[in-house]
Amino acid sequence: MYPASERARGAGETIFASMSRLARELDAVNLGQGFPDTHGPSRAIEAAVRALRAGSNQYAPPGGVEPLRRQVASLWGARFGRTLDPDRNVTITSGATEAIAAACLAWLDPGDEAVVLEPAYDAYLAAIRAAGARPVGVDLGTLLEGDRAALEAAVTPRTRLIVVNSPHNPSGAILGTAALNTIADVATRSDLRVLSDEVYEFLVYDGEHRSLGSVPGMWERTLVVSSAAKTFGLTGWKVGWALGPEQLVREVRSQVQYLTYAGATPLQLAVADALDDIDALAPLVREPLRRQRELLVRGLEDLGFHVVPSQAGYFVLSDFGLLRAETSHEAALALAHTAGVVTIPVEPFYADPARAPKLIRWSFARQPDVLSEALRRLRTALLDGPIESQGTGALR
Ligand SMILES: Cc1ncc(COP(=O)(O)O)c(C=O)c1O
């Protein structure tokens, strides 16, 4: 059981908030936090305005407004080849983040363990600890290479849950069929629940996303989480959803009732409207990101960074061999202070930050002129020789 002071590490300022604050303080180009600098689809925005004006301004039911539940049930039901009941199989949450927190609070007891694939989005670690449980990291790279031993070794009699994230933050990797089958096999054999965070499912540039919930035998034990944040580039709306078998959805919804009770009614209605046109809207969000990914990756490689290929989402990882820095944390601070470019260090993506590799995360969810300005600043800073570390600073 984690003491409250330890659990509070997850409740303090996140690395994303602290790096965004640093970007404002230094007037740096912010390639850190995962949000796009665009307005979002006008269809969704007009629908939100209409809902506000029409007076849809009171509490939604805890499961979310019926039109959104219906849309999610119909669209994801078609993807899974199942008939989903909008009330029993879908629940709307305040972003994917609330679904993740609610699932961990509902399913984990003090002393339990939950397996995460590292690097792991930091909300998983915080939510698992908030439930009093212990996150156990498994290197994502081993799974992608077809090695199942690390995952098998991480599962103990205390394990209750595996948290999976594909497409993956921060690497942009997509778990292929072999990796999904391995997870399915391990989860089934040890009778574990699986939380599958698929928020980047519509932002795929290379390869194909397959939901863990559609792997044979997995529907019964998997809660699939997704969100309008990344799909429509509306991160500030905090409209997400969880879908799965009735029992899992009911347990999550019962937590949501006492976390937020319900999310924002007019925004949920607007997302339902946007989902009605997902086939047209998704490429409008995705294709500019694909071009921005090329611009950033090519620019970083031209400067001499080694970039880990990213297939999806908002991010790429790179090394920081061009910098005089020991840790990812030091490298991110050096880039911010010396070059005026904010990135994200990877330590917070590890249950044990000492195990973090020498990588930093860059967001390409920025307009081309912003990315070009970041690359220009980096080039200028590097002309003065290797960028010097600024020490470890005040970031956690
Ligand atoms: C993997 C992953 N899951 C969940 C979220 C949060 O989603 P939401 O804004 O819908 O809460 C993010 C945001 O960066 C993310 O990267």
Walk me through the domains of the chain, giving residue ranges and CATH numbers.
4-39+280-388 (3.90.1150.10), 42-278 (3.40.640.10)
Q: What are phi and psi of 42, to 5 degrees?
A: -65, -30
Q: 216 C-alpha vs ligand 1 centroid, how far in Å? A: 26
Ligand 1 neighbours by CB, cut-off 6 Å: 34, 95-97, 121, 165, 169, 197, 199, 227, 229, 235, 238, 240
Q: 15 C-alpha vs ligand 1 centroid, how far in Å? A: 14
- The tokens 């004006």 sit on which residue? 53
Residues 61, 65, 66, 69: what is their CA dihedral angle, to the nearest 10 degrees? Answer: -110
Six-digit token string for 19: 């790096």
What b-and-e string marks burial along 222-240, b requiring 16 or more CB atoms within 10 Å of the CB? bbbbbbbbbbbbbbebbbb
Residue whose CA is at the smallest distance from ligand 1 atom 16: 169
Helix (H) or strand (E) holding 269: helix 265-275
Q: 197 C-alpha vs ligand 1 centroid, how far in Å? A: 8
Residue whose CA is at the smallest distance from ligand 1 atom 14: 34
User: pLDDT tens string for the chain (396 positions)?
Assistant: 555 655 555 456 889 899 999 999 999 999 998 899 999 999 999 999 999 999 999 999 989 999 999 999 999 999 999 999 999 999 999 999 999 999 999 999 999 999 999 999 999 999 999 999 999 999 999 999 999 999 999 999 999 999 999 999 999 999 999 999 999 999 999 999 999 999 999 999 999 999 999 999 999 999 999 999 999 999 999 999 999 999 999 999 999 999 999 999 999 999 999 999 999 999 999 999 999 999 999 999 999 999 999 999 999 999 999 999 999 999 999 999 999 999 999 999 999 999 999 999 999 999 999 999 999 999 999 988 777 776 655 444
Q: 111 C-alpha vs ligand 1 centroid, how far in Å? A: 26
Task: Report the alpha-carbon distance of residue 383 to residue 209 in Å, rounded.
Answer: 40
Round to the nearest angstrom and report the end-to-end CA distance of the chain: 21
